[in-house]
Amino acid sequence: MPKIFYNSLGTEEMYGLIREVMPEGFELVTLETDEDGERRRKIGDCEVAIVAAKPIDTSVIEAAGKLRLVHHQGVGYHDTVDTRSLVKRGIRLALTPAGTTTGVAEHALLLALAAAKRLSFADSELRRGRWHINSLRPVSVEICGKVVGYIGFGQIGQATARRFKAFGATGMYHDPYASHDPRRDAELDVRPGDLEELLTQCDIISIHTPLTDETRHMISYEQFAMMKPTVILVNTARGPIVNEAALVDALSSGRILAAGLDVFETEPVDPNSPLCALENIVMTPHISAGTIDALKGKMRALFANLERFFRGEPLENEVKLNH
C-alpha cells in the first residue's frame, strides 16, 4: 500500500476530510508536531509527499529515501519546494490547480460586500455597545450598478465577474495576456481596458494576477492617486502586488473609500501593523481558498493523479524539471 506523506501539520478533523475522499489502497502519513525531526522520521517509508503552504525542508527531502513524487496541493511551488534537490534525486513534481477558483471568487465578493458596509467595524462596535445606525450611512455603498475592475482575468477573475454580475454590476478587465473572447465578455457583461482606464473608471477594483516581477507593487501611490475617492480595493491574489504603505496612506487619507484584503505583504499580519488601526478595511487571514469544498475538490484531483502515477500513466499538471 503506497504511503503518502502530508507535509503540513493539520488537525485530526482536516486529516479526516482528506481520508474521506482518499481512494482505497493509500495510506496517509500525518504529523503530530510541526518539527522537521518528526518529518524526517516519517517520510522515510513514503513514495509521495503532499506539500501545501508549509515548505518542505531540503533535509526532509534528503531523508526521504523512497520518495518518487512531490505533489503540491496548490500551484505555488516556487517558495515551498526546493526543485534543485528534487532534480538531484530524480523526484518528480506535480501541481493541483483544481479546487480554488470558487472559494477565491466567493471570497472576493464577500470582501467587497463587507468593505462596502464596513462589516468588521460595525460588528466590533456593536459588541462594545456602540450602535452605528446612522453614522455609517455616508460611507456605505451597494454593489448594484457599480463598475468592477478586474486586474488579471484568468480563472478566478472570470469566476468573480460572474458573481458580481449577479449583483447587478458591470465590469472592465485589464489582462495583457488573456485571450480576447467577445462572447464570454458579453455573457459576463465586461469589456477589456488598459490599466489606466480601469483605475480611473472603476468603483470596485479586484486583483487576480499572480505575483511576478511585473505585478509586484503594481498598485502603489501613483495608481491610488488615479482612483476615484469612492473606490473599494479587493485583494485576494498576493499581498506584494499592492504597496501596503501606499494602501495605508490611501485609506487613512480618504484617497479611497475602503479595502478588503485576504493577502498581505507580510503574513501573518503583525497586530501592530497600521492596517489594524483602520476602520475602513476588512481583513481575513489568507483563507479565500480555505473551505471544506476546496480541500475535498483538491484532494479528489490530487489522488486521481496519484492513481495515474501508480498505474504508470502520464501525470496531469506535472512540472517539467531538468533531470
Binding ligand NAD (rule: CB under 6 A), the pick from 31, 43, 60, 151 is 151
- If the CB atoms of residues 178 and 321 are measured against ligand NAD, the closer one turns out to be 178
Full DSSP string of 87-129: HHHT-EEE---TT-HHHHHHHHHHHHHHHHTTHHHHHHHHHTT
Please report whether residue 153 would count as binding ligand NAD according to CB under 6 A.
yes
Check if 267 is active-site.
yes
Please report whether residue 240 would count as binding ligand NAD according to CB under 6 A.
no
Q: How many CA atoms lie within 13 A of 216 on its CB side?
A: 3
Least distance CB 256 / ligand NAD (angstroms): 20
- If the CB atoms of residues 9 and 178 are measured against ligand NAD, the closer one turns out to be 178
Instruction: Answer whether 17's CB lies under 8 Å from 292's CB.
Output: yes
Q: How far apart are CA 15 and CA 307, in angstroms?
A: 19
Stretch that binds ligand NAD, among 85-93, 170-178, 223-231, 306-314 (CB under 6 A): 170-178
Best CA proximity match to 302, nearest among 10, 1, 28, 13: 28
- If the CB atoms of residues 85 and 236 are measured against ligand NAD, the closer one turns out to be 236
Instruction: Answer whether 108's CB lies under 8 Å from 207's CB.
Output: no
Please report whether residue 177 would count as binding ligand NAD according to CB under 6 A.
yes
Q: Report the relative pairing of strands 190-192 and 92-94 from DSSP bridges.
A: unpaired
Catalytic: which of 27, 267, 307, 313?
267
Residues that bind ligand NAD (CB under 6 A): 100-101, 104, 151-157, 174-178, 208-212, 214-215, 236-238, 262-263, 286, 288-289
Q: Which residues are catalytic?
A: 238, 267, 286
